Structure formats: C-alpha cells, structure tokens
C-alpha cells in the first residue's frame, strides 16, 4: 500500500506539537493510531516503523514527545549525547504535561474526517505513554512495546503512578517485552501483570519474546532483531484489526 505523509503542528495549550502523519493514499477512512516514539523523538528509524504500520491500513500519527522544550524539533542521534538529551528532556517534563499533550493529539485525531477509531502504541518511554493514552475512554485498543517505568512510576519529572490507574483502561491491551530487557526484567514484568490483573484486566495479552533485548524493534544498532520486529508488528496489526472488524 502506498502512503502519503506530512508534518503538521497540532495545537495545544502549551503550543504546537510537531507531528508526523502517515496515511494510505487515495483518501478513504481508516483507524487512527497514536504512535509514541522512544526518547529519541522523530527519527527515521521510528518513522520507518510507522510507515510499515500505516501500510497495513491505518492513519498513523506520531507526535514529538518533547514538543515544548530544548529538544523540540530535534530528532536525537542514537549515541550517548542523544540518549542524555532524551533522558534530560524526560526528566524536565511532568506527567501532567505529557497527559495534556496526549489529550490535544487525541482530540485532533478524533476530529479528522479520515479517522474511524482511536488506537495507541509506543516504544520504550513511548510504550509507557501509550499505556497512559489507554486511560482515554475513546482509545479502543493499545499496544505497548517494552514500556519502561510502568513498574515503578518512572516517566518524567515526577512519579507517574500509571499502574495505580490501570482500572481506568476500558479498551483492550497488548504488551510486548523482550526476555533480555534489563529495563523491564522478569520481576518488573510480574509486577505489571499483577497490577493489571488486580485492576480486573485478566484478558490482557502479554508477549515475552525469547532473546529480545530492549529496543529490539529499533532498526539501528546491535540490539535490532528483524525477525522479532516482524513478529511484533504482525501481532500489533492483528490486534488492532480485530478491533476494527
């Protein structure tokens, strides 16, 4: 499927949110997927993944996660300096600010004529943000790829307390981990699942890919696993498609 893409500014109370929008060509109406990047923002690596998802029949909306601070408009490099800049930007962003931007983007998506439903996904810190996007009752299905900080509330400048709000999730939820992820080891995954079950989400889908490292879907660097990436994307498309049937 061929695609059309654009970069737009989504309005919010704190200012415009630089956002990539990738959709199938030829018009039509499609489910919309809010896709949160990792800490490096709108890199070509993440946009390649977004294009693959869009080619399966989705309007994929990829906002910057730090659109109002020092790294607004910057796609960070996958090196120590880029990692530090991304982590510093996270540490300077409150949970309330992340949430306010989420509401602005979802409102903007919901108002689009070509969007039929709202889904969410994300990677790493963006996986945690996708989990919080699921608190919005309009979001029908969410896929979190190796979300960091869920087990202890680590997200930005304060304790996000996201697991404590698991009961606010009304849609279906799929979480994908790699078994060799040091940021979300087995005990952290257990804590997440226990909290979800305690909140009544006993139908959550959890996939732990054997040998997968943190950021195994990032197609740059030694952690990338193409086979697991293909599997994870196929799982996500199938999961979302079940909701749009």
Number of domains in the chain: 1
CATH of the domain at 193: 3.40.50.1820
pLDDT, residue 37, reads: 98
121-163 tens-digit pLDDT: 999 999 999 999 999 999 999 999 999 999 999 999 999 999 9
68-93 tens-digit pLDDT: 999 999 999 999 999 999 999 999 99
Detail the DSSP E strand segments found in 25-131: 30-36, 59-63, 115-123
Q: 3-class DSSP state for residue 118? A: strand
pLDDT, residue 243, reads: 52
End-to-end C-alpha distance for the chain, whole angstroms: 19
Other C-beta atoms closer than 10 Å to the C-beta of 74 total: 18
pTM for the model: 0.97
The full 3-state SS of 210-237, as one line of letters, equals: EEEECCCCCCCCCCCCHHHHHHHHHHHH
pLDDT, residue 134, reads: 98
- Residue 146 belongs to domain spanning: 3-244
pLDDT, residue 68, reads: 97
CA dihedral 40, 238, 172, 212 (to 10 degrees): -50
Residue segments in the chain with a per-residue pLDDT below the cut of 50: 244-245
pLDDT, residue 225, reads: 98
Q: In degrees rounded to 5, what are phi and psi of residue 189?
A: -65, -40
Residue 109: both structure tokens together: 């998506």
């Amino acid at each position: 499927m061929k695609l059309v893409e654009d970069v737009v500014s989504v309005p919010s109370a704190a200012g415009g949110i630089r956002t990539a929008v990738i959709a199938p060509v030829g018009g039509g109406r499609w489910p919309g997927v809010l896709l949160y990047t990792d800490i490096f923002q709108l890199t070509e690596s993440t946009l390649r993944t977004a294009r693959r998802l869009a080619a399966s029949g989705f309007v994929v909306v990829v906002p910057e996660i730090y659109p109002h601070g020092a790294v607004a408009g910057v796609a960070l490099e996958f090196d120590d300096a880029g990692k530090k800049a991304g982590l510093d930007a996270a540490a300077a962003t409150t949970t309330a600010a992340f949430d306010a931007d989420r509401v602005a983007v979802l409102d903007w998506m919901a108002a689009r004529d070509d969007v039929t439903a709202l889904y969410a996904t994300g990677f790493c810190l963006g996986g945690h943000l996708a989990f919080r996007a699921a608190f919005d009752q309009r979001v029908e299905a969410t896929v979190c790829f190796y979300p960091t900080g869920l087990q202890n509330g680590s997200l930005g400048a304060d304790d996000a307390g996201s697991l404590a709000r698991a009961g606010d999730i009304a849609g279906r939820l799929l979480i994908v981990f790699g078994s060799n992820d040091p940021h979300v080891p087995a005990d952290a995954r257990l804590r997440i699942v226990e909290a979800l079950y305690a909140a009544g989400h006993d139908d959550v889908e959890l996939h732990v890919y054997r040998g997968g490292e943190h950021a195994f879907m990032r197609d740059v660097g030694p952690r990338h696993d193409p086979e697991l990436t293909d599997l994870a994307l196929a799982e996500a498309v199938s999961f979302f498609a079940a909701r749009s049937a």
